[in-house]
Structure 1
Amino acid sequence: MSTTLKDKTVLVVGRGSGIARAVSDAAMQEGARVIAAGRNRAALRESYRRSAATVATVDVTDEGSITALAAEVGVVDHVVCAASARARGAVAELEPDAILRSFHTKVVGPIMLTKHFAPTMPESGSFVLLSGVAALEPDPGFLAVAATNGAVNTVVRSLAVELAPIRVNAVSPGTIDTGAWDALGEQGKAELFGRLSAANPARRIGTPEDVAHAILFALTNTFLTGVCLPVDGGQPLV
């Protein structure tokens, strides 16, 4: 059974671009009231200045900030956490602070979001977290990313049981063109995307909208809980 997002309040945590923005836009198209929250309120205001979304401030690595956000916005029907802090690098290059920042952003922070938003959330509500293909596809240079995403997959199962009937799910993107790969430079990004597109069964790179569609499915399918939906073009298959 599916439900609608019309007149529901959806809190989307993340930047004002990429997956978080695609989710916000898609939810508003379905009639939801969207609260877009992130660390840089000024940047969010600029990003959403032509949007009907309400902008708020939160740092998911700071429980006090999450407590303040919950007090500010009140009851919400759904929470989507798309915040990330990737700790890429071979094991010899990894620094503890980077690993912990990644873990606090994608694992501890979302747990604290459920701690402070679930008590007032209606039983029909849900949480959606972001995992990632690295949890299923070990690859040199992505050890910390894989460990973090693997933890997310475990967290959603535990939270789905503990918070029932509130639903908790994750969506696991593959390689998505969010702008995160722009640091490789135009040529480096093109070479990477060309190689991955030729190898994965979907024969293309994913878009933020691909992921947003899966997140909306997780928000609205009332018989879906405790699962991690892969949106990865079949990347782990090859």
Structure 2
Amino acid sequence: MTASTELSGQRLVVIGAGSSTGRRLAQAASAAGADLVLAGPDTRKLEQTGQQLTGQPEIIRFDITDEASIADLAAGVGRFDHLVSTAAVPANGPLADLDPADVQRAFAAKVTGPLFLAKHLAGQAGEDGSFTFFSGVAAWRPASGGTVMATTNGALAFLVQALAVEIAPVRVNAVSPGIVDSGAWDRLGDGKQVFLDGVAQRNPARRVGTTDDLVRAVLFAIGNPYVTGTVLHVDGGARLA
């Protein structure tokens, strides 16, 4: 992926920077000249990400499901230009088996967490500042056993519209991935390639996504000052198939 220089001198907060997508975003943003704040629950993974960057990032241990932790993040970050959260806490399974605590954490990661991030950090965003969150194709293509995932991703899509109005002129957008070969499907073992090939055959784009596809969308959302309240679908057209 070719890096842009448009982030030179800007301060970027990446929540979930220990994940494959968050790490790739941090790498691209660092190569583009951004100063990075890496936040997430596992400092070991954040440090691993930090070792792959061109600069020296700030690392903050952080729990998006806890408002007190969000307030602490705001105090530690200070002024910034852009915040991106890839955070998700899945709660998948049949309705009869869902645990209330798991459901609450899923909503906290995708809905109430972003809401409180805006509450505590919107006033610290610089001129042309933005928030970018991650929704997902499950909101538009729900599947059995994925009711919580579909609902939280859908709620986030509407939340970004409301926040774009509430905290304007700070911009708020979402990226909605489809099936991405980010490493999450490695658990399928020998069945992984069969699964991904099937997804590609059904998608209008005739391929599955990569983390670079997602990073390009995030950088577009960050860099275009006339885009707000928008969900960028990076799913190969999966919601149409």
Q: TM-score, normalised by structure 1?
A: 0.94
Query: Deviation at 1:25?
Result: 1.3
Secondary structure, aligned partner of 1:150: helix
Rounded Cα–Cα distance in structure 2 between residues aligned with 1:49 and 1:18: 14
CA RMSD of superposed structures (Å): 1.5
Q: What residue in structure 2 maps to residue 65 of structure 1?
A: 69
Kindly tell me the number of residue pairs found equivalent between the two proteins: 235
Q: Deviations over 1:114-151 (max 9, x none)?
A: 11111121231000010000111121121110000001
Q: What residue in structure 1 maps to residue 31 of structure 2?
A: 29
Q: 1:202-217, aligned counterparts within 5 Å?
A: 202-217=205-220
Query: Deviation at 1:187?
Result: 1.6
Structure 1 spans left out of the alignment, 5+ residues: none
Q: What residue in structure 1 maps to residue 146 of structure 2?
A: 142
Query: Deviation at 1:90?
Result: 2.6
Percent of aligned pairs with the same amino acid: 44
Residue number among 188, 192, 196 corresponding to 2:191 in the alignment: 188
Greater relative CO (CA pairs within 8 A, separation 6+): 1
Q: Deviations over 1:47-80 (max 9, x none)?
A: 3223223322111111111111211121111100
Q: Is residue 235 of structure 2 the alignment partner of residue 232 of structure 1?
A: yes
Rounded Cα–Cα distance in structure 1 between residues aligned with 2:164 and 2:203: 31
Give, as a single letter, the amino acid of the residue that structure 2 aligns with 1:55.
I
Q: 1:1-238, aligned counterparts within 5 Å?
A: 4-51=6-53, 52=55, 53-184=57-188, 186-238=189-241
Structure 2 spans left out of the alignment, 5+ residues: none
Rounded Cα–Cα distance in structure 2 between residues aligned with 1:65 and 1:101: 14
Query: Deviation at 1:211?
Result: 0.4
Rounded Cα–Cα distance in structure 1 between residues aligned with 2:206 and 2:102: 32
Q: Deviations over 1:68-122 (max 9, x none)?
A: 1211121111100111111122323322222211110111111111111111212
Rounded Cα–Cα distance in structure 2 between residues aligned with 1:47 and 1:6: 19
Which consecutive segments of 4 or more residues in structure 1 shift more than 6 A? none
Give, as a single letter, the amino acid of the residue that structure 2 aligns with 1:228.
V
Rounded Cα–Cα distance in structure 2 between residues aligned with 1:193 and 1:7: 39
Q: Is the 8 A contact 1:15 1:83 kept in 2?
A: no
Q: Is the 8 A contact 1:200 1:235 kept in 2?
A: yes
Give, as a single letter, the amino acid of the residue that structure 1 aligns with 2:203.
N
